[in-house]
A and B are shown apart, each in its own frame.
Chain A
Amino acid sequence: MDTLISTLLSGVVLGALYALMASGLSLVWTTLGVFNFAHGALMTIGAFVAWTVSEAVGLGLPAGVVAGVASAALLGVVVEYLLIRPFYGRPNMLLITVMTTLAGMIILEKGAQMIWGARLKQLPRLIDGEVSIFGAVISAHEALIIVVAPLILLALWQFTTRTYLGRSLRAVGQNQDAAALLGINVSFTFALAFGLGAALAGLTGVLLGGIRFITPSLGAEPLVKAMIVVIFGGLGSLGATVGAAFVIGLAEAFLVLTLGLYWTPFALFLGLIAVLIFRPNGLFGRV
């Protein structure tokens, strides 16, 4: 019973992290139609900057969190400006940006290695202590992730459905010309989507940095998971992405329990392929 609950909990923690990560990826995809392969590297940079500000400089964790998220957001805007913007309107933009963002990922990862080195770093936990839920014990840091992630995603959802700026993101994603003719600054919207997506990646990095060791390739695995989540859920809708994130998180936790760490990625990809065969638009996508 305890194993079941603790597996369930670790699945929810994973789901919450994947949801944060994947919703940033999904936001960029729905607004610009670009799949950002540098998303994981932006997350890594966020974690490293948070570590530098909080641990190396010693300004404390709150300052580190803010700096980590802000630097990821800023870098996201730079990535958009340098690697995406020159190619808008090209008929093969999707393919070009696959290459440019892959290049961006490599540059950022290698850059992180040059700046911070390959030695493992770790952020302190956001809160100390442990929480007991139905007899299973998780760290308070993980419990915080379970609470914070849905709140952030709720705020993001409110932003995209209730505010002028948030709605303009969705409008630009659906019809760029029409959005421009209503007075929406399309270029700014692109930068905003990228910045917000990167901020979410940075936040994921900061949260993950308290659980795992921070290395230059910290973001590689979450990027793959986020891609599975976004495709699995059906490209384009925030709700579908979040739903899929928790499905994948829980599936992963139980697969690790039953099949072990080694076969879990294999099983996840098999599941993804199966879903795409029977529901080509994703699990929650419209057919």
Chain B
Amino acid sequence: MSRFLEVEGMTAGYGAVTVLRNISLYVDHGENVGLFGPNGHGKTTLLRTLSGLMRAAMGKVRFDGQDISRARPWEIVGLGMVQAQQGNTLFGEMEIAETLELAAFNRRAREKAAANLDRIYTLFPRLAERKRQKAKTLSGGERQMLSIGAALMCAPRLLLLDEPTLGLSPRLKEELAEALRAISQDVPLVVVEQDVELLLALSNRLYLIEHGEVQREIGKDNAPDHQEIMDMYFGEHA
């Protein structure tokens, strides 16, 4: 059986600047995968390329057996791979409820819209309390919740999350981690995070992305301890 998501030798960048070099990774059916590494080393670019916002210069992406290397973002969402962007304001002038309803845009999602909406309001009661509030008036944490909520409304079969806990207070972070665990019960996740402990708790395997390359693959059996993680981020002599 083929892999759920498979990236093969992907090279991508902005104009003359190459950000990703020959990236290969995969996500199997039924597993969550984490991506981590220093800032500015290509994790967000990787997610943008997977979602079709950018086009890879080289390499192949297959999702559920289909080649999506040249697919447009909305086609990829239609197939079921959905990304929640980091710190995204979505649509500043739109209310929470309206944004979530709109997000069930693809045909598959519309059938499940009512059920998904209930589930999101249960996961994130803050969103339910602020239904009629415009997105631009929300706090950072609430925006993050809205971004994840909107992605869930797309009825994802694989959910890509870009730094969901970035800039959140420890309490909010715990709340969000709890929600992510609940989400991962029925939607497999690919999570970009700085917090490796959170990633290890959430996912089966981790990829360390550095200088636009996969530097290391980490499974349950070779999980690094705290000192090792610090070394990966800051170099051996930090």
Contacts and interface: CB of A to CB of B under 8 A. Distances in A.
Contacts of B90: 174-175, 178
A122 B89 CA distance: 50
Contact of A170 (B52, B53, B94, B150): B94
Contact of B78 (A164, A170, A181, A183): A183
B85 A184 contact: no
Given A164-B105, A174-B92, A178-B88, A183 B53 contact: no
Interface residue range, chain B:
20 to 34
Contacts of A28: none
A215 interface: no
Interface stretch (B69-77, B121-129, B175-183, B209-217): B69-77
A179 B51 CA distance: 12
A198 to B, nearest CB: 24
A5 interface: no
Nearest to B103: A182
Nearest to A163: B102
Contact of B102 (A171, A180, A185, A186): A171
Interface residues of A, number: 18
Nearest to A178: B90
B27 to A, nearest CB: 18
Contacts of A97: none
Nearest to B113: A164
A179 B88 CA distance: 11
A7 interface: no
Contacts of A161: 98
Contacts of B83: 181
Interface string A158-190: 000100100110110011011111111110000
B77 A183 contact: yes
Contact of A174 (B51, B93, B154): B93
B106 interface: yes
Most buried by A among B73, B82, B83, B99: B73
Contacts of B103: 182-183
